Amino acid sequence: MEFEAFTASALADYLGGIAEVRDRLGDPADLEIVEVGDGNLNFVYFVTNTKARERSVVVKQAPPFLRLVGKNWPLSCQRMDHEVAALRRFGALCPQHVPQVYHADGKRFLMVMQHLSSHRILRHGLMDGVTYPLMAEHLSTYLAQTLFFGSDLYLAPDIKKQAMSGAVNAELCKITEDLVFTFPFEDHPSNVYSPALPKSALERLRTNDALRMAAADMKWAFMNHAETLLHGDLHTGSIMVNERETYVIDPEFAFYGPMGFDIGALIANLLLAYFSRDYHGRLNGGDPAAYQEWLLDQTVRIWNGFSGKFLALWRDHESRSGRPFIGGSADSRAVDAYRAHFMRRLLADTLGFAGCKMIRRIVGMAKVAEITRIPDAELRAQIEVRALRCAEALLVQRTALTDIEHVVLLARDVEHDAIAQR
């Protein structure tokens, strides 16, 4: 059966037929329905009762193809099952930062969920230079809760293995394996390059052995290290914020993978915001420096906040259970030494993944608005070169960068060197 997107009236009828949703929305005749998908993967509708606009939901439906490309890139609709399962799991772990699912329909590949009507996409807020005072606090909590409770540090090993095998998401993982870890490092037809991006910058991605090995290590880890249930696509377009609240949406890429992948995706996007700020921050004669420092500060707060909260959950759990992961007594020196060692390894992973995520946004198919919306080709290419330089350093030096403050120094160095060379 050919997939057909809902017409507004068909969707209103459908929603009217689900008691729970109808109770929430009111009379189907009063509904306003607007399609707002970003066009990459899914159809997304805001459904609002025009007589009581606080009564609203989001409907998300998965077509059997990659919407960005069209019917020539088929995708199974089962990704909606992954997304629903992940939203429910993350919602149970961290309800304050995950939208509620009101209704899921496996046959129509759609779900009805909480409408975050007073929130905006974090990426857009960052492009406008908005500061969110609670964002780092919220996101570090989200990361600590979701990454810890899905892992062998918390779950009984049989439960974890069952969860892992139930969360296999081969089709969407393949997109990441190709678009993040492979195509950017070769001359692939799906790559999209800025016209002014120097050939040498592209050549470097294909010929720097240390960089290639590091990226391949990250690909291997992505494909093999089934550490916890990940969001799988945690960029700043998957986060909705306002002054008081932060929500993480769109976990259709969820699977059991390496913890650093989610944290790295987030840090990559903060760093892309940082480098592109040199353009957006100068609009209307502004100075980008203060907001750039705010972005770096958020990066530090997110990692340090995450690390502290993750360690607290870990310590708490082991002192309650009396059974530390490494054996022995929960208060032994080795137990703490291992935790510190684990976090250093996790930071290295995080930085490696951040590097890959930055590179794919510069040379791969899927871009980020803070860069594509720089109209001056030369300026855009300069910013892209800085992002690539930072990404390379993150990848190659990931085990030497033993704390997040070093990462901030590195980013600042890349930015200021580049500016000095103008």
Residues that bind its own copies (CB under 8 A): 152, 157-158, 160-162, 164-166, 168, 170-171, 173-174, 177, 181-183, 185-186, 188, 206-209, 212-213, 215-217, 219-220, 223-227, 325-329, 332-334, 337-338, 341-342, 345
Residue 198: strand, helix, or coil: coil
Least distance CB 159 / its own copies (angstroms): 9
What are the backbone angles phi and psi of residue 62, rounded to the nearest 5°?
Answer: -100, 115
Q: Given CA atoms 144, 145, 146, 149 in this order, what sign does their dihedral have?
A: positive
Q: Which is nearer to its own copies, 195 or 327 (CB)?
A: 327
Least distance CB 329 / its own copies (angstroms): 8
Q: Which is nearer to its own copies, 22 or 345 (CB)?
A: 345
Q: Which is nearer to its own copies, 14 or 342 (CB)?
A: 342
Least distance CB 253 / its own copies (angstroms): 14
Rounded-to-integer distance, Cα 391 and Cα 166, Å: 33
Least distance CB 119 / its own copies (angstroms): 34
Nearest Cα neighbor of 264 from 178, 197, 186, 360 is 360
Where do we find the tokens 């007589």?
51
Q: State the greatest distance between any 2 C-alpha atoms of the chain, in Å, as a whole number.
A: 66
Q: Which is nearer to its own copies, 4 or 209 (CB)?
A: 209
Least distance CB 223 / its own copies (angstroms): 5
Rounded-to-integer distance, Cα 418 and Cα 422, Å: 7
195 burial type by CB count under 10 A (0-12 exposed, 13-18 middle, 19+ buried): exposed
Give CA separation, 346 vs 15, 261, 341, 349, in Å.
Answer: 44, 10, 9, 5
Least distance CB 220 / its own copies (angstroms): 7
Least distance CB 48 / its own copies (angstroms): 40
Q: Which is nearer to its own copies, 61 or 228 (CB)?
A: 228
Q: Which is nearer to its own copies, 255 or 275 (CB)?
A: 255
Where do we find the tokens 């600042």?
412
Rounded-to-integer distance, Cα 375 and Cα 403, Å: 35
